[in-house]
Copies of this chain bind each other. A is one copy, B any other.
Amino acid sequence: MIRVGIIGVGTVGASVANILQKNKAIISARAGKEIVVVKGAVSNLEKDRNVDIPLTDNIDEILEDDSIDIIVELMGGIDLPYEIVKKALSRGKAVVTANKALLAYHRFDLQAIAKDIPIGYEASVAGGIPIINALKVGLSANQIVAIKGIMNGTCNYMLTRMMNEGVSYEAVLHEAQKLGYAEADPTFDVGGFDAAHKLLILASIAYGIDAKPEDILIEGIEEINQDDIDFAKEFGYSIKLLAIAKKLDDKIELRVHPVLIKQERMIAKIDGVMNGVSVIGDCVGETLYYGPGAGGDATASAVISDIVEIVRAGQSSPMLGFKKPFESEKLSLLPKEEIESEYYLRMLVDDAPGVLASIAKVLGENGISIETFLQRPSDNERKATLLCATHRCREKAILNAISEIEALSHIDTKIAMIRIEE
């Protein structure tokens, strides 16, 4: 019998305990042993947790109980979980965590501390989708060419509603908050930070590269408006918040931002709160993994799969898929300004002679050639909205052009920019 302690018994923790109970027969058959949750730690013992396990508000009662084999950390936060996981490892206990923020900052430290003690974290990325396992095991023959993920259900829900129903950003955010898809302060989701944490975890498995959220390009969906949606529809694009990792020779590109992406691409077809991750390997080509990115039972499914795998296999696989980053490859992060993409720009300008010419001139001087230019009337009859898609260029060039255009007279607003993903 394997004894499990859960630290943090919220929605996911309760689901873990309840599913282990409900599916006991089948899970035991697969794990080869019975798995029992012997205790859960919560901060407030008064609150009803809807579980049938003993609860404590003293975490050490779990960490210091030598009969407990596996610690499931579902608290959230970074510093306290880090201390808890270190303490669990120091006592030889395997750890399963769904905590993406913890791993975004401490995955390499934890791998070093854990050595041969298993740490499972399938639930930390894309909820119920077994993408960690796919990357660590299923695609192990491949050099990973690129990972492109829709890994934040809140953003995908909002963008889908904006795209399909024409709901405004403000209205759909309010709606998402009412439905419980978005927090009262939605910044962590809509700002791209949640997706960035997940991207960093996947990128360490694929490339062994250590980077922190601060090191990478992160932009959210807050600036997307109806003009952008209309442009996307007109030219056969969807708008998605993508988390992207790409390998270019010895450089790794990591970035999270909204993209325009052709509607016929498989990942562009993922709508609503669902998540999906496309992985391109040098042998296999593109594989894509789709499913629920959040929710108590879906996330618990991933947590339990880690527990089963630890029970069944013990330390079969180093935490990040390798004992140490492959020394044969000296990979480093591509500086943000060296990213190359096609770009879409939106600006509100005076409807006056010469404005278009002056903008086109700045783009040309920065070596940027235009693929599509669309002018449409704005609410203000003396203003026009300009929408423009460029050919491929460097991020540095487009940012430079944007600041030069913004400095021109007749330009009314900050220019909005969305990258176009091939």
Contact = CB atoms under 8 A, between A and B. Distances in A.
Interface of A: 15, 19-20, 23, 25-27, 29-32, 122, 128-130, 133-134, 136-143, 208, 266, 269-270, 281-292, 295, 297-298, 300-305, 308-309, 312-314, 316-317, 321-323, 326, 328-329
A109 B282 CA distance: 35
B23 A287 contact: no
Contact of A137 (B129, B286, B309): B309
Contacts of A31: 140
Contact of A317 (B138, B270, B298, B313): B313
Contacts of A137: 130, 133, 137, 305, 308-309
Among A129, A283, A297, find the residue whose CB has the most chain B CB atoms closer than 10 A: A283
A288 B285 contact: no
Contact of A283 (B23, B285, B290, B312): B23
Contact of A19 (B29, B269, B283, B329): B283
A158 B291 CA distance: 27
Contact of A289 (B140, B289, B317, B326): B289
Nearest to A308: B140
Copies per assembly: 2
A284 to B, nearest CB: 4
Nearest to A122: B138
A145 to B, nearest CB: 12
A317 B322 contact: no
Nearest to A16: B141
Closest 4 CB pairs of A and B: A130-B138, A313-B316, A287-B291, A141-B304
B283 A321 contact: no
29 contacts: A23-B141, A25-B326, A25-B329, A27-B141, A29-B208, A29-B323, A30-B136, A30-B140, A122-B138, A128-B283, A128-B287, A130-B138, A133-B134, A134-B138, A137-B308, A139-B301, A140-B308, A141-B304, A266-B270, A284-B292, A285-B291, A285-B292, A285-B298, A286-B292, A287-B290, A289-B289, A309-B316, A312-B317, A316-B316
A141 B20 CA distance: 8
A141 B308 CA distance: 8
A30 B134 contact: no
Given A23-B142, A130-B134, A140-B27, A297 B283 contact: yes
Contact of A282 (B23, B266, B290): B23
B133 A138 contact: yes
Given A23-B282, A316-B313, A29 B287 contact: no
A313 B271 CA distance: 37
Nearest to A303: B141
Contacts of A329: 25-26
A136 to B, nearest CB: 8
A141 B283 contact: no
A295 B284 CA distance: 9
Contacts of A141: 19-20, 23, 27, 300-305, 308
